[in-house]
Every structure is written in structure tokens, then in C-alpha cells.
A = this chain, B = another copy of it.
């Protein structure tokens, strides 16, 4: 017998009761009771984003919501400041370029986080930039961005702040209205604990004004259609009904636990994993680590692919490897979603066994005990 356990930072494990809610018989999306389910989920999504604005549900991968932010808010020829420090933040640039938007990049070494002052410096030179595109938590590196700090820089300017919160929202406190974020997106297979296939986007009133002027071609991702349907408690196109059933069930679970408790839980999982990494003599990749995942360097003496394969094939524990130029050089252990203390002990124990297999010299159990102590200390 080999139990298989998924520790990727998305898709993440889905709670059993959510899986079963997804398996409900098909309902029609224009009729009750589905419309009530959708309305309830939409209301809870506002709390999830901490906003009074509608949170729109798209039937796409997370990238679909990123594209919607670009194509609904800007026009070809506009300038946009894009913070690039990993695979997903680079995607903002690629999407802008696909729409003929001029990218003003802030290039960071992967693992670094942008400083609000860096954004201010570029904005001072390009005050006409239509938007700043940022990433709350960069999933390819585990780096956390100070979104509130960036929002403060943009306060009082006409430049919109657009945040990829695909893995960050629901893990770290995120205050759409209070911070003054103009557009935020997230996906379903992360903090929301449902399978991939849905994405979500909220716009500030200021951002919503741009829908009228934006000249980018769009139809399926035209948010004007979604706002219009939203008023009637509907979707403009047949949505992924089963996944919305799961969303509604997952949001109930989330608000039973409470957002603040969820943030504390992820903090605990991150702290404990980082303590284990230190105790094993390993190094973290990010300068300012988030609690979505822990990204750590694989010691140079070890074949990173062999380590990952051993964990997956011999121990049934699937953590993520590196992306882009970090392939084979780092591993990423997910904390986002349906994970608790004991899950992390499992991941750390598996990592230790794989390190042992790969000949990495360390005190057996050091990581496990460090995490265990950190957990005990947290209560």
C-alpha cells in the first residue's frame, strides 16, 4: 500500500465534503436552487477578498482572470509597470504584450520581493502608466510582496494597482477595499480548496470605470457582461456548475474556521517548515517568505530530480520542484489550503528520508523535531 499525498502549491487537496458536493446531480444554472448557491458563494467571496464590490466568477484557469484584468482595464499602446520576479509575475508581462501594452518592467532576482520605493521610482518617471501589475505571493519562489506598501505608493495617483492573489488570498490577510487595491484575482485550486477550473476577479469602482474606455478585443472575458449578469445573480455563460457547488461548500468550511484563524494556521505551517529547513542546514530561496509554500535550495551535492522522484515514487509524497531556471535546484512544499500541522510533519519526514537516500549528511529527525517544537510553541 502506498498512500499518495499532494503537497504542491496548487492544485491542493480538496476536503472530502467538498469533493462530494461537486458530485451532486446536475442542476440548471438559470434556476433555483443553483442560483441561491451561486448568490451565497458570491456573498462569501466578498468577505474572502474583504471588499464590498462584486467578486466575479469566471470559468477559466487562474490565467483567464489575469488576462481579464489586462484586457478590461487597459488599451493597446498604454504603459504598464510590471513587477517581475518569478514565473507567474512574468506572465503579467506576457499578457500585456499580447495586447500591445508597453511593459515597464521592474526586474527582480527570483526570490526577491519588490520594495514600494522601487515602484515609486518607476512611477515617478512614468506617471502616465495605466497600471502596476504585482503578485501577492509568487508561487515559483515563495516570495511575499508588501501589497499594502505598494498600494500606499499609488494612493492619489491615477495608476491602477492590479494584484495576482491566486495563491496569496486566503493564506495571508488581504484587504481589497481598505488597502485600495483596484483589481485582484484568485484561482479555485489554492486557498479556496476546490479543484481548478474557476477564477475570480474583483474591481474597485475606479477600475470599473475603465471598462467603458478599454479598447482591447474581448468577448468571453468581457467583464462588462459578468457585471451585468451578476446584478441578476447569474453568469453570462454556462458556468462550471459542479465547481461552483464545491466553491459554496468550501466557503462554508472556510468561514466556519474563520479567515483570521486560517491566516494563523498558514503562519504556523510556514514557521514550522522553515524551522525544519534551518535545522536540516538547508537554505530558503525567498528573502521574504510567504506562507503559501516553502521554497528551499537543494544542496549542490544532491541531484534535485532524484530527490523529488524518490519522495514521489518511493514515499508517495508529491512536493513541487523548481520552474524555469530553478528546475532541479529547489523544492517547494505547499502549505496553501487543506493542510494541518501533521500534514507538514509528513512532508518534512519524507524530505528527511529522501535527503538520507541522496546521501545528504544531517542529524536524523532534526527537521521533524524542529517543526514539532514550533507547532507546540504556537498554541
Tell me the residues in window 40-62 of chain A with beta carbons closer than 8 Å to chain B beta carbons.
Answer: 59-62
Residues of B within 8 A of A13 (CB): 25-26
**Interchain CB contact (< 8 A) of A241 among B23, B196, B216, B239:** B196
Copies in the complex: 2
Tell me the residues in window 195-246 of chain A with beta carbons closer than 8 Å to chain B beta carbons.
Answer: 195-197, 216-222, 237-243
Question: Which of chain B's residues has its CB closest to A5's CB?
Answer: B25
- Judging by beta carbons under 8 Å apart, are A22 and B25 in contact? no
**Interchain CB contact (< 8 A) of A243 among B14, B25, B240, B318:** B240
CB distance from A8 to the nearest CB of B (A): 5
- Judging by beta carbons under 8 Å apart, are A196 and B59 in contact? yes
CB distance from A187 to the nearest CB of B (A): 7
Residues of B within 8 A of A27 (CB): 6, 11
- Interface 1/0s, chain A 70-99, versus B by CB < 8 A? 110000100000000000000000110011
- Judging by beta carbons under 8 Å apart, are A220 and B28 in contact? no
Confirm or deny: A312 has a beta carbon within 8 angstroms of a beta carbon on chain B.
yes
Confirm or deny: A271 has a beta carbon within 8 angstroms of a beta carbon on chain B.
no
**Interchain CB contact (< 8 A) of A318 among B28, B59, B71, B219:** B28
Count of A interface residues, CB-CB < 8 Å: 54
User: Most B CB atoms within 10 A — which of A12, A23, A64?
Assistant: A23
With contacts A240-B243, A241-B195 known, is A61 near B220, CB below 8 A? yes
- Judging by beta carbons under 8 Å apart, are B26 and A239 in contact? no
- Judging by beta carbons under 8 Å apart, are A219 and B67 in contact? yes
Residues of B within 8 A of A272 (CB): none
Expressed in whole angstroms, the Cα–Cα distance for A221 and B8 within the complex equals: 25
Residues of A within 8 A of B (CB): 6, 8, 10-14, 19-20, 22-29, 31, 59-64, 67, 70-71, 76, 94-95, 98-100, 187, 189, 195-197, 216-222, 237-243, 312, 318
